[in-house]
Structure 1
């Protein structure tokens, strides 16, 4: 063993004289520390802005997959009108992207864990670029369906690859006060991509190939920008590369390589050393059977199921058709753009609101709003179909379907659409985060394929009002599930969340004592001696439980 880092002892007064603080109060204290002045007189707000910039770059990879999700909504009406695509083929064009997405999710986990977070983000762009080029090159005859199918499969594969890397990367790289905001930015990027393709579809209503060609520029730009990002320090530490982890963390926090290590950075390095001491990465599904993995896995998979069963992705894939089936009489492309814009604005709002209000309240409000909006729309359509309303009354309230759809989109974005993707970067232990995230998003998109593929059949079997009523009932069931089982992660560190699921408040110390040699002196410091084949260091950590993962 060799001595790599010795952290200064924390003052005894701070450890014994101060009363124990709640997690929220501790989080607020950290926020204050992070905007204070460093010893060199430089504001720490700079590193926060730096992390926000890296957050924007990391989530550029999700723009093209978002455009892929919304592409079928604007392209299918024109394909059916000008390219001879029938309803059966149209359902496959819409759903093929969803059926290939789970394979991308499965591939994403091993890439994340074995090759790194940055490589996983770079891997998103290749299938997206090739898929868009195939769609743009599809000829105007019956053989075009082969290229269209293949293009949709590839862009769907890219969507699967994009679901977790940016969220996991930012969850590991951002300081705790910013993590709650940054992990929701993948949903913002997806929403921005959906809006972008809706706008392009409205501008070029008869030229879906041109829309595909313009979309091909997005993954190319995103791939170049990702090269500017440092690798996740957590991943580097777990690979036994402490020097690279420190260099990455310094770059993320805006601390020069030659500068003295500030206190907040020393604390983060201590946390990295603890994680590196337990750096076993899950290689198979057997690791998911442990309580701290299995409990969040079941909860998140069910959350994704209710997300899909409530019709959230059906509205994305079939936006123009859904607007028409809802009885909207104004320009359906304009309403589609309004839906995309609403989704984007609410996603941006919820990325900050969830930090203030927490995950559970947002999810409960979301499910309740979806239930009411879909239920009221189903009631309206039932009354119209059965002539329970006079023509005069219908003319007076013909704006209601638009309002119901916009409320539904707004409410779904508040929680059910965005939070499942955000929380997979928080609830899983670090050693299975890539694998578990891949399994969860894979399951979610399998459900998405089934729901999207069955949309035409369910519409024919249940009718318009029956289909929207089904989405309302599933939204209500999802709301009850969230109320009963979804944990709150606001104000908690990643280690706090892991301990919640393991039901063992001493988890970190117990594991360290089993895997390494840990001694604790009277001042509350832990001396961690880690074997050289794991992570060559001797580290004195002031009360590990006080520091975030």
Structure 2
């Protein structure tokens, strides 16, 4: 094994001079010095990232499609009639299927590659769109929703792929595009739903995923995967050469990949003579602090994210607006609510992606968590005050004013705004930054599966929670959860902006 590793490293060293005769040769230590990367040097990785993350447009479509589909199926002219129970299954069955796709994509992307699995992920989406287009009964719709949810879980591969082809100075911004594309899928579905019938919309969505399918053939494979899993330095060098036309940056990133690979191999056993030892070694990697520490941190971040109610507010926007009341809620239908919240999330996710290149993960998450805490607390306080009789308010010199009825509504919009800057965006992208390459596929899928389980639990239990406690007390609870989430982020989340994968691993090795 040791001899193989040495031969592979010699081959990699030779390859750096064979790829291009004009490659800038650097000293053994100079690659550690940070290199500035310009937009001209970044355009190829930006293009590849956008093509890969166009897959998650379909995830946003999955979230919003039931809001368009169910009202149209309930119309008298609909050729498919559904009951109330069937409608609830159509809405929720996607969330049940999502974790399965996220769970199995990890081993598949490690075995067959990031690019290949991105391409294969488009196939179930196409099948789902075809089933919707030619649906003749409720079972076609069930099957289409299950396949769409399963495919949505598979799109985890796009996050891993983008994290491995991007430069450390642009990685944060390009990973944040994941939320931009999800938000675009939500917004596109709501807008098309104002004019198109659901079968016609399915054809449009099928056309979008076919474009993604074609585009993925023109992007390179992850160089990290080629080195760590395939031990193929030739293909890794070709992949990096596609990404970086600048010779100095190419050589710098090449050496960084070797460093990351070497740190991974330090955890492997030096002999292959015993199958039992290999199995024990494969399990022992999960005892490494560079693995279990980020896993615990990410798991708890996803817990706080889902318990914060950010997704609940988006999914139950209409019910919340009607529960709160106010002039803004009168006559508002689900399409207006979804378009409004979808627009806010889309715009703020763009803002988050733009500023993430200069502002670290921690400041954005701090700002988001504190903003959500304040908005939910103000909403709870205001609802408590307005629920008091006027005689009680006179004691503290407060007069009820009908023009202020919209305060809780604006707090909810502010809550979604702050959430879209950090809490709804960054946790998903941290998977591609905190986890080591060797386990990123497997554990990334497991973590996203857990996040979807948390999401399903909160969405399913929210109506019952609302029956058990008043809305104002619910806002208090959410405010406390967000404050606890802020404290956890402050104490345990490291900053990843501008850090290489090896730098991040070194952080978790510290006691």
Q: Residues 307, 75 of structure 1: CA spacing in aligned structure 2 closer, same or farther, 3 A cutoff? A: farther
Cα distance in structure 2, aligned partners of 1:62 and 1:346: 17
| 1:263 equivalent in alignment to 2:248 | yes
Tell me the equivalent position of 2:349: 347
Query: Alignment RMSD, CA only?
Result: 3.0
| 1:10 equivalent in alignment to 2:45 | no
Q: 1:306 aligns with which of 291, 304, 307?
A: 304
- 1:104·1:160 contact (CA, 8 Å) conserved in 2? yes
Secondary structure at the aligned position of 1:416 is classed as coil
Encode CA deviations 1:444-497: one digit per residue, 9 max, x unaligned: 001111111122222333344444444333222222221222221122211110
Cα distance in structure 1, aligned partners of 2:304 and 2:73: 31
| 1:176 equivalent in alignment to 2:177 | no
Mean alpha-carbon deviation: is it higher for 114-123 or for 372-381? Answer: 372-381
Tell me the equivalent position of 2:502: 495
Superposition pairs of residues 388-407 of structure 1, within 5 angstroms:
393=400, 395-407=402-414
Superposition pairs of residues 357-372 of structure 1, within 5 angstroms:
357-372=359-374
Q: Residues 11, 94 of structure 1: CA spacing in aligned structure 2 closer, same or farther, 3 A cutoff? A: closer
Tell me the equivalent position of 1:154: 147
Q: 2:464 aligns with which of 427, 452, 457?
A: 457
Superposition pairs of residues 299-448 of structure 1, within 5 angstroms:
299-327=297-325, 328-329=329-330, 331-332=332-333, 333-382=335-384, 393=400, 395-448=402-455
- 1:323·1:336 contact (CA, 8 Å) conserved in 2? no
Cα distance in structure 2, aligned partners of 1:357 and 1:467: 32
Cα distance in structure 2, aligned partners of 1:155 and 1:474: 32
Q: 1:48 aligns with which of 35, 42, 56?
A: 42
- 2:259·2:502 contact (CA, 8 Å) conserved in 1? no
Cα distance in structure 2, aligned partners of 1:403 and 1:458: 22
TM-score (norm 2): 0.83
In the TM superposition, what is the alpha-carbon distance from 1:329 to its structure 2 partner?
2.3
Q: 2:226 aligns with which of 233, 236, 239?
A: 236
- 2:106·2:443 contact (CA, 8 Å) conserved in 1? yes
Q: Residues 378, 203 of structure 1: CA spacing in aligned structure 2 closer, same or farther, 3 A cutoff? A: farther
Cα distance in structure 2, aligned partners of 1:381 and 1:147: 44
- 1:94·1:452 contact (CA, 8 Å) conserved in 2? no
In the TM superposition, what is the alpha-carbon distance from 1:93 to its structure 2 partner?
2.8
Cα distance in structure 1, aligned partners of 2:483 and 2:121: 34
Mean alpha-carbon deviation: is it higher for 493-502 or for 321-330? Answer: 321-330
In the TM superposition, what is the alpha-carbon distance from 1:119 to its structure 2 partner?
1.5
Report the count of equivalent residues.
467
Encode CA deviations 1:282-306: one digit per residue, 9 max, x unaligned: 9976632321111100110111111
- 2:386·2:400 contact (CA, 8 Å) conserved in 1? no
Encode CA deviations 1:84-114: one digit per residue, 9 max, x unaligned: 6555544433322112111111111112211
Cα distance in structure 2, aligned partners of 1:217 and 1:299: 39
| 1:67 equivalent in alignment to 2:68 | no
Tell me the equivalent position of 2:208: 218
In the TM superposition, what is the alpha-carbon distance from 1:317 to its structure 2 partner?
3.0
Tell me the equivalent position of 1:227: 217
Q: Residues 318, 127 of structure 1: CA spacing in aligned structure 2 closer, same or farther, 3 A cutoff? A: farther
Cα distance in structure 2, aligned partners of 1:356 and 1:105: 30
More helix by share: 2
Tell me the equivalent position of 1:297: 295
| 1:196 equivalent in alignment to 2:181 | no
In the TM superposition, what is the alpha-carbon distance from 1:318 to its structure 2 partner?
3.2
TM-score (norm 1): 0.77
Q: Which runs of 5+ in 2 are unaligned?
A: 1-6, 18-24, 269-277
Cα distance in structure 2, aligned partners of 1:246 and 1:408: 45
Encode CA deviations 1:114-144: one digit per residue, 9 max, x unaligned: 11111121232222222233344444xxx52
Q: Residues 326, 81 of structure 1: CA spacing in aligned structure 2 closer, same or farther, 3 A cutoff? A: farther
| 1:117 equivalent in alignment to 2:114 | yes
Tell me the equivalent position of 2:285: 287
